[in-house]
């Protein structure tokens, strides 16, 4: 067809006509073998619309994870590979279409057939609303099957809506401007580039740029630059016969070695010189909780799980050091450890079957902790295993001094009040047990609530709000979870007569937290380093300052 589109710029999108040629619904069940793949090639311009989580597309060699509302614009001859090992079904619509100039337009009479095909749309867009994606998915998949003229028109309209959504993605100038500024920062982070200069690259005011940058990348400009610099410093510290600390500081953009050392320790918890010495050994932390045990000994694991669902804390600070990410599948972990060859492996015995423990012992010396022991015993056992007994005792001495200082401050505010700790989330209301609240009960000296056998609750126990009146506590600490259902759960609880009638509520002795990693996953944070961080936050909850 002579007036079919062969080479277009984005501004031409509104001058074109579009015609839907075919619609193919693709549903892929989860695959079990990594060799299972599905290939297909587009014969004309095409859209691929995803309506579900699960699966991955590789389009002309580029990999994309599928989500509801993922939209891909493909040129003719695109090779598409579909895999699905996510455990969820994949739902895709393939919409083949062609675009052409109206016959009476000037462009329709230009002979540029030799130019390469170029669609005026970005290759990928994420629809802003999953519900809109589902609506369009349903309209097209159902309407195309009927063959009715009215349904075909609705399908054509849906095609235009999808194309417009894809184009709007390209029209988001702020996003592209921010990315340009970020790339400039990535290139010049060791220099003295200013926020004003980056705002100029983005074409935005300083205030607007700073706000949008943090919204887009999850951290401020200065924080982002610091992360880039410290990542570079870690690389240099890990080099054999690398530069001195003063040279490293200068290379990454700092004029003061002491300032660099202070900043490095604040971010990692470890001084640069100690980091350089301790990271020479490859230590594997088999489970989440083992990471916190090693960090207290100023050791960042070489191999560890990095998928902490309750926090980004560990990924943000230690992503560079964890070169061998572990999973929760025994065979996968065993293969990773065989390849990475750690010097030692630390795990928890009751978390790993005996047959798997025996296999891990063949890879490297191993320590499997007894989960019935307390966190202090865990720290001492790990320290002995790594020949760092002194490190553990020094850490515990600092911790105990900090506990004593915090207890003195809190005693002036709360005395020896009984304390009930509640977690409110999508699962309802739970009482936090002795191990979950060990810092509060065992170290800071809060008395346990009456009316409940706390020694029988290790981590948590669900409770009917109507039963709260049977628990006797002069103070209540409420942790509001970050999960989506927590707001509704708290709304129901806070308005209930059972809650409003509690003595602690009526006397104004209810305290709050919603930013505690510990109470989001107390079992996984039951280790020295996370408890040390928790200690720093507790006085604020009760009005005791830092």
Calculate what percentage of the chain has a pLDDT beyond 70: 92
423 and 536 inside one domain = yes
Phi-psi region for residue 507, left (φ > 0), alpha (ψ -120 to 50) or beta?
alpha
CATH number, domain of 214, equals 1.10.10.60
Q: What is the rounded average pLDDT of the residues 24-35?
A: 75
Helix (H, G, I), strand (E, B) or coil at 39: strand
Helix axis angle for 288-296 and 389-414, nearest 10°, is 100
Poorest-confidence range of 43-47, 87-91, 150-154?
A: 87-91
CATH number, domain of 336, equals 3.40.50.1980
Poorest-confidence range of 25-29, 256-260, 494-498?
A: 25-29
Q: Which residues contact 266 (CB under 8 A, 6 or more apart)?
A: none
- Residue 1, pLDDT > 50, answer no
Last residue in a domain, options 370, 387, 404: 387
| Complete DSSP assignment for 52-83 | SS--EEEETTEEEE--TTEEEEE-TT-EEEEE
Asked if residue 400 is part of any domain, the answer here is: no
Q: Which residues contact 521 (CB under 8 A, 6 or more apart)?
A: 288, 308, 309, 310, 311
Asked if residue 401 is part of any domain, the answer here is: no
Phi-psi region for residue 428, left (φ > 0), alpha (ψ -120 to 50) or beta?
left
Task: Work out the pLDDT band at 544, boundaries 50, 70, 90.
Answer: low
Last residue in a domain, options 133, 153, 169: 169
The number of folded domains in the chain is 4
Task: Work out the pLDDT band at 127, boundaries 50, 70, 90.
Answer: confident
Model pLDDT, residue 170:
63
206 and 87 inside one domain = no
140 and 263 inside one domain = no
- Residue 113, pLDDT > 60, answer no
- Residue 8, pLDDT > 60, answer no
42 and 164 inside one domain = yes
Asked if residue 212 is part of any domain, the answer here is: yes
CATH number, domain of 20, equals 2.60.120.280
Name the nearest CA neighbour of 28 among 61, 64, 53, 62: 53
Largest CA distance in the chain: 89
Asked if residue 114 is part of any domain, the answer here is: yes
Q: What is the rounded average pLDDT of the residues 362-391?
A: 97
Strands, E assignment, 357-482: 366-369, 419-425, 428-432, 460-462, 475-480
What is the C-alpha separation between 130 and 136, in angstroms, rounded?
10
Q: Which residues contact 319 (CB under 8 A, 6 or more apart)?
A: 306
65 and 145 inside one domain = yes
- Residue 524, pLDDT > 70, answer yes
Long-range contacts of 129-138 (CB under 8 A, 24+ apart): 129/69, 130/68, 130/69, 132/69, 133/49, 133/50, 133/51, 133/68, 133/69, 133/71, 134/51, 134/68, 136/49, 136/161, 136/162, 137/49, 137/51, 137/91, 137/93
Quick check: pTM over 0.75?
Answer: no
What is the C-alpha separation between 205 and 474, in angstroms, rounded?
52
Asked if residue 405 is part of any domain, the answer here is: no
Last residue in a domain, options 276, 304, 324: 276
Phi-psi region for residue 155, left (φ > 0), alpha (ψ -120 to 50) or beta?
alpha
Reported as a single tens digit per residue, the pLDDT across 236-273 is 998 888 899 999 999 999 999 999 999 999 989 899 99
Reported as a single tens digit per residue, the pLDDT across 416-427 is 789 999 999 988
What is the C-alpha separation between 311 and 308, in angstroms, rounded?
6
What is the C-alpha separation between 526 and 436, in angstroms, rounded?
7
Model pLDDT, residue 112:
46
Asked if residue 64 is part of any domain, the answer here is: yes
285 and 375 inside one domain = yes
- Residue 532, pLDDT > 50, answer yes
Average confidence score pLDDT of the chain = 89
29 and 124 inside one domain = yes
135 and 217 inside one domain = no
Name the nearest CA neighbour of 460 among 437, 420, 433, 423: 433
152 and 50 inside one domain = yes
Of residues 531 and 306, which shows the higher confidence score? 531
Of residues 10 and 460, which shows the higher confidence score? 460
Which helix (DSSP H) or strand (DSSP E) does residue 182 occupy? helix 173-188
- Residue 511, pLDDT > 80, answer yes
Can you read off the two tokens belonging to residue 356? 């798997």
231 and 294 inside one domain = no
Model pLDDT, residue 109:
47
User: Residue 253 belongs to what domain range?
Assistant: 174-276
Neighbours of 500 (CB within 10 A): 11
Rounded to 5°, the CA angle 98-100-101 comes to: 165
| Sheet with 475-480: strands ordered across | 460-462, 428-432, 419-425, 475-480, 510-513
Tokens 């028109």 correspond to 153
Task: Work out the pLDDT band at 116, boundaries 50, 70, 90.
Answer: very low
Neighbours of 512 (CB within 10 A): 12
Can you read off the two tokens belonging to residue 266? 């604040």
| Sheet with 79-83: strands ordered across | 38-41, 79-83, 56-59, 62-65
Phi-psi region for residue 253, left (φ > 0), alpha (ψ -120 to 50) or beta?
left
Task: Work out the pLDDT band at 114, boundaries 50, 70, 90.
Answer: very low
252 and 151 inside one domain = no
Asked if residue 404 is part of any domain, the answer here is: no
44 and 157 inside one domain = yes
Poorest-confidence range of 46-60, 185-199, 279-293?
A: 46-60
Helix (H, G, I), strand (E, B) or coil at 369: strand
Asked if residue 403 is part of any domain, the answer here is: no
Model pLDDT, residue 118:
67
What is the C-alpha separation between 19 and 307, in angstroms, rounded?
45
């Amino acid at each position: 067809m002579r007036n079919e589109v062969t080479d277009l710029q984005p501004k031409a999108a509104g001058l074109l006509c579009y015609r839907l040629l075919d619609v193919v619904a693709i549903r892929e069940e989860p695959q079990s073998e990594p060799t299972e793949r599905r290939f297909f090639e587009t014969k004309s311009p095409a859209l691929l619309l995803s309506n579900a989580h699960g699966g991955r597309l590789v389009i002309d060699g580029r990999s994309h994870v599928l989500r509801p509302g993922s939209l891909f614009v493909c040129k003719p001859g695109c090779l598409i590979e579909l895999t699905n090992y996510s455990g969820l079904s994949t739902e895709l619509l393939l919409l083949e279409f062609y675009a052409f100039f109206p016959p009476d337009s000037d462009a329709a009479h230009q002979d540029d057939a030799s130019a390469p095909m170029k669609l005026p749309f970005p290759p990928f867009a994420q629809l802003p609303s999953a519900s809109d994606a589902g609506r369009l998915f349903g309209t097209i998949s159902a309407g195309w099957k009927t063959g009715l003229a009215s349904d075909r028109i609705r399908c054509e309209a849906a095609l235009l809506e999808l194309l417009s959504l894809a184009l709007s993605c390209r029209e988001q100038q702020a996003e592209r401007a921010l990315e340009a500024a970020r790339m400039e920062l990535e290139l010049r982070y060791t220099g003295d580039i200013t926020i004003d200069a980056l705002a100029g690259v983005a074409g935005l005011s300083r205030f607007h740029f700073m706000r949008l940058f943090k919204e887009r990348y999850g951290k401020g400009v200065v924080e982002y630059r610091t992360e880039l610099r410290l990542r570079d410093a870690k690389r240099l510290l890990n080099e054999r016969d690398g530069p001195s600390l003063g040279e490293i500081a200068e290379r990454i953009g700092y004029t003061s070695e002491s300032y660099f050392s202070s900043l490095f320790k604040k971010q990692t918890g470890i001084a640069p010189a100690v980091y350089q010495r301790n990271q020479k050994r490859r230590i594997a932390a088999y489970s989440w909780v083992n990471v916190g045990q090693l960090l207290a000994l100023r050791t960042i694991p070489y191999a560890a799980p990095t998928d902490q669902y309750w926090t980004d804390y560990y990924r943000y600070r230690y992503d560079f050091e964890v070169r061998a990410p572990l999973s929760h599948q025994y065979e996968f972990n065993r293969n990773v450890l065989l390849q990475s060859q750690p010097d030692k492996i630390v795990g928890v015995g009751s978390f790993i079957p005996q047959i798997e423990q025996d296999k891990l012992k063949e890879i490297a010396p191993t320590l499997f902790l007894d989960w019935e022991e307390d966190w202090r015993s865990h720290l001492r056992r790990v320290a002995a295993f790594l020949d760092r007994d002194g490190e553990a005792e020094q850490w515990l001495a600092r911790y105990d001094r900090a506990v004593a200082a915090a207890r003195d401050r809190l005693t002036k505010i709360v005395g020896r009040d009984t304390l009930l700790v509640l977690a409110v989330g999508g699962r309802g209301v739970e009482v936090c047990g002795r191990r979950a609240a060990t810092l509060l009960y065992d170290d800071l000296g809060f008395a346990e609530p009456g009316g409940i056998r706390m020694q029988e609750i290790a981590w948590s126990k669900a409770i009917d709000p109507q039963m709260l009146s049977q628990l006797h506590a002069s103070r209540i600490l409420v942790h509001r979870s970050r999960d989506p259902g927590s707001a509704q759960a708290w709304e129901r609880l806070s308005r209930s007569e059972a809650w409003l009638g509690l003595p602690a509520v009526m006397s104004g002795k209810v305290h709050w937290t919603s930013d505690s990693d510990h109470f989001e996953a107390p079992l996984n944070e039951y280790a020295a380093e996370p408890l040390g961080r928790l200690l720093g936050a507790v006085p604020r909850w009760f009005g005791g300052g830092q």
